[in-house]
């Protein structure tokens, strides 16, 4: 696992590239907006931002907002792909796989293709060319990615160029991915606000993300489910609110993510259940000293996590 | 359960009262600071802010800051109490009970005494005069309170007049508490930033708080405990961070709170475990439809909670 940081040398002329978006929802929209404001800072930029989405109204709106230069219906996506130097596939996991499978031959020569899917094993192992990426049928290279940012609100309407600020990004290049392509993608990522890029393999990604992201969404959901009524927030002091904000969940998306990463996720749920049960027993048996020692350890561990966050 | 709101008529001349603090840590310090900036707005205020704490250095600092007018060592607390119209006991639960028991005869005639203890049953049922408050040995009245605000940071150093803004406050007056006393206390509470005061009984309080506050702290702690390593935050996208901020827990305080509210807390932990197990089984059995429906319900329930929050 490598962590890149501010010493990274950003590729120049990122505004001469043409960017294409498949899906212009919360994430696609936020990427497009951030590229528009952070990369296309020069009025004479040669590059373009293109987008395709099944919601034509969204595309029209994004064009009116000056975020995208041109848009394409889903039927004409290949017309878009042949112009794009960098393609962001901002679709749900299964749709991402379908899209790559069906469009592999339409990507522009030597282009960079990336995605934002929150689970990778199924996607990567199902891709026609497996671990090698796209390079048998095309010179385009697929670099799996996962921006660790989002919102409980959905759609282009809630997209924003600010949601990436100070966030983590996980990249999973293949062994044969060109260094130059990784450098360009990292440059874009840093430019639009992310401060920490982690390079790892897709198995590690799925294992870690099952904990930091999926398990947390499940806990938040279970906590809301277990609430006796919806007026409990009258008694809230911030803790319940912070723990359950992510329970305002995009149900179809997270159902896909949970099921696609089932094995990893179930193992993390079980570890969590064990820890919870341990604290429960300490309370049940009034083990004051053990409970307090346990909480002291938890506190120290969490403080260390904050310190390690920025490394 | 009654919820008061902005239509409440604030008592005048709150700055002519003398306020006393037992304990000038995060909470006591924040109350004193907020009363100083929000109530003592007039240079000619007749009232005073007094404090007693075992940490003389803290008291000196607060005096130097212009937050308190005068301070008293723990041995001289009764000298302070006889001057105070309103006393805030900002100690841990057990210490709160001890303090009231030992000082009941020293409170000023007709004064208002309140506390901030996060669990009430044990405290209220152990008080010498039980449900009637303090009114056999004294004309002072005890009104149990619980400000739903705080911070994962401790001590006077981290206290702030801002932490109460837009927060909930729970008050548990006795049947015989004078309306005028409740009105004065509520006026102070609104003045220093709280926007929602709930009046309820101590049993309801302990039941609800076990869910919104204590259960959340236990979940956060179990989640941190179950983390494989302290570098996991490199893979964080905000969810894990939001769910576990409160795991930077004040271990002695929360050990007391958990054990003092054991029965309520254990019942909420068990409900949560059931909800978690239900989601776990849906994932394990790949029950896509049920899982998605479950998450949709959770989402709707959490959205309703936000709507009910401000009511």
| DSSP assignments along A66-77, one per residue | TS-SEEE-GGGH
Disruptive mutation site among B242, B305, B307 for chain A (greatest number of A CBs within 10 Å): B305
Contact B108, B85 (CB under 8 A): yes
Contact A240, B242 (CB under 8 A): no
pLDDT at B310: 60
8-state DSSP, B130:
G
pLDDT at B293: 98
What percent of chain B has pLDDT above 90? Answer: 85
How far apart CA B164 and CA B34 sit, in angstroms, is: 8
For the stretch B238-252, pLDDT in tens is: 999 999 999 999 999
How many residue pairs bridge chain A and chain B with CB atoms within 8 Å of each other? 299
How sure is the predictor about B5, in pLDDT bands with cuts at 50, 70 and 90?
A: low
Using CB atoms, pick whichever of A243, A276, A292 lies closest to residue B243.
A243
pTM (predicted TM-score): 0.91
Contact A266, A210 (CB under 8 A): no
Hey, how many other C-beta atoms are within 10 angstroms of the C-beta on B90? 27
How far apart CA A176 and CA B190 sit, in angstroms, is: 64
Average pLDDT over residues B178-193: 97
How sure is the predictor about B150, in pLDDT bands with cuts at 50, 70 and 90?
A: confident
Average pLDDT over residues B250-263: 96
ipTM surpassing 0.95: no
pLDDT at B152: 81
Placement of tokens 């849906």 in the chain: B282
pLDDT at A134: 74
Task: Tell whether B305 is within 8 A of chain A (Cβ).
Answer: yes
pLDDT at B1: 42
Hey, how many other C-beta atoms are within 10 angstroms of the C-beta on A270? 12
8-state DSSP, A261:
T
Hey, how many other C-beta atoms are within 10 angstroms of the C-beta on B139? 12
Length of chain A: 311
Q: DSSP secondary structure string, chain A?
A: -EEE-TTS-PPS-GGGSEEEEE--SHHHHHHHHHHHHHT--STT---EEEEE-S-HHHHHHHHHTTS-SEEE-GGGHHHHHTT-SEEEE-S-HHHHHHHHHHHGGGSPTT-EEEE--S--HHHHHHSTTGGGTTTTT-S-EEE-EEEE---SS-SGGG--TTTTTT-EEEE---TTS-HHHHHHHHHHHHHTT--EEEE--HHHHHHHHIIIIIIHHHHHHHHHHT-S-TTGGGG--SHHHHHHGGGS--HHHHHHHHHHTHHHHHHHHHHHHHHHHHHHHHHHTT-HHHHHHHHHHHHHHHHHHHHHHT-
Task: Tell whether A266 is within 8 A of chain B (Cβ).
Answer: yes
Chain A window 205-244: which residues touch B at a Cβ cutoff of 8 Å?
Answer: 205, 208-209, 211-213, 215-228, 230-244
- Which residues of A fall within a CB distance of 8 Å from B226? 268, 271-272, 274-275
pLDDT at B6: 57
Using CB atoms, pick whichever of A208, A239, A295 lies closest to residue B235.
A208
Using CB atoms, pick whichever of B219, B221, B240 lies closest to residue A223.
B219
**Partner-chain contact A255 B213, CB within 8 Å:** no
Strand A145-148 with A141-143, pairing:
unpaired
Report the candidate in A51, A37, A42 with the shortest Cα–Cα distance to residue A12: A42
pLDDT at B255: 97
Residue A89 CB-half CA count within 13 A: 28
Nearest C-alpha of chain B: how many angstroms from A212?
5
Chain A window 153-212: which residues touch B at a Cβ cutoff of 8 Å?
Answer: 167-168, 170, 196, 198, 205, 208-209, 211-212
pLDDT at B130: 63
Q: Quick check: B299 pLDDT over 70?
A: yes
Higher local confidence (pLDDT), B138 or A74: A74
In chain B, the residue whose alpha carbon lies closest to the alpha carbon of A257 is B283
**Chain Cα centroid distance, residue B137:** 27
Q: Quick check: B131 pLDDT over 70?
A: no
Placement of tokens 């179930």 in the chain: A266
Within 8 A by CB and 6+ apart from B157, the residues are none
How far apart CA A3 and CA B188 sit, in angstroms, is: 51
Exposure pattern of A66-101 as b/e (b: 16+ CB <10 Å)? ebbbbbbeeeebeebbeebbbbbbbbbbeebbebbe
In chain A, the residue whose alpha carbon lies closest to the alpha carbon of B169 is A235
- Which residues of B fall within a CB distance of 8 Å from A259? 283, 286, 288, 291
Using CB atoms, pick whichever of A209, A259, A308 lies closest to residue B288.
A259
Report the candidate in A19, A36, A25, A20 with the shortest Cα–Cα distance to residue A193: A36
pLDDT at A2: 43
How sure is the predictor about B308, in pLDDT bands with cuts at 50, 70 and 90?
A: confident
Report the candidate in B240, B301, B275 with the shortest Cα–Cα distance to residue A214: B240
Average pLDDT, chain B: 93
Task: Tell whether A74 is within 8 A of chain B (Cβ).
Answer: no
For the stretch B80-125, pLDDT in tens is: 999 999 999 999 999 999 999 999 999 999 999 999 999 999 999 9
Task: Tell whether A6 is within 8 A of chain B (Cβ).
Answer: no
How sure is the predictor about B67, in pLDDT bands with cuts at 50, 70 and 90?
A: very high
Structure tokens at A281: 């027993």
pLDDT at A299: 96
**Residues in chain A where the model's pLDDT stays below 70:** 1-6, 129-133, 310-311
Task: Tell whether B303 is within 8 A of chain A (Cβ).
Answer: yes
Structure tokens at B57: 């250095």
């Amino acid at each position: 696992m490598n962590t890149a940081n501010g010493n990274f040398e950003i590729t120049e002329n990122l505004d001469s590239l043409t960017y294409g978006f498949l899906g212009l929802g919360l994430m696609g929209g936020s990427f497009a907006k951030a590229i528009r404001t952070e990369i296309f800072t020069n009025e004479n930029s040669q590059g373009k931002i293109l987008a395709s989405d099944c919601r034509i109204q969204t595309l029209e709106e994004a064009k009116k907002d000056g975020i995208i230069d041109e848009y394409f219906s889903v039927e004409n996506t290949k017309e878009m792909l042949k112009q794009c130097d960098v393609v962001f596939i901002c679709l749900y996991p299964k749709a991402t796989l379908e899209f790559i499978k069906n469009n592999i031959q339409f990507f522009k020569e030597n282009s960079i293709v990336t995605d934002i899917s929150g689970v990778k094993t199924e996607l990567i192992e199902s891709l026609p060319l497996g671990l090698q990426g796209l390079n048998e049928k095309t010179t385009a290279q697929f670099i799996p990615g996962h921006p660790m940012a989002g919102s409980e609100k959905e759609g282009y309407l809630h997209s924003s160029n600010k949601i990436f600020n100070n966030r983590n990004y996980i990249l999973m290049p293949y062994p044969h991915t060109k260094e130059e392509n990784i450098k360009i993608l990292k440059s874009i990522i840093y430019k639009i606000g992310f401060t920490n890029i982690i390079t790892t393999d897709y198995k590690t990604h799925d294992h870690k993300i099952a904990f930091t992201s999926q398990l947390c969404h499940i806990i938040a959901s279970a906590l809301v489910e277990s609430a006796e009524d919806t007026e409990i927030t009258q008694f809230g002091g911030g803790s319940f609110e912070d723990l359950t904000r992510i329970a305002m969940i995009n149900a179809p998306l997270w159902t896909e993510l949970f099921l696609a990463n089932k094995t990893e996720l179930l193992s993390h749920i079980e570890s969590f259940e064990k820890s919870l049960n341990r604290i429960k027993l300490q309370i049940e048996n009034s083990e004051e000293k053990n409970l307090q020692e346990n909480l002291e350890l938890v506190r120290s561990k969490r403080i260390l996590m904050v310190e390690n966050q920025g490394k």
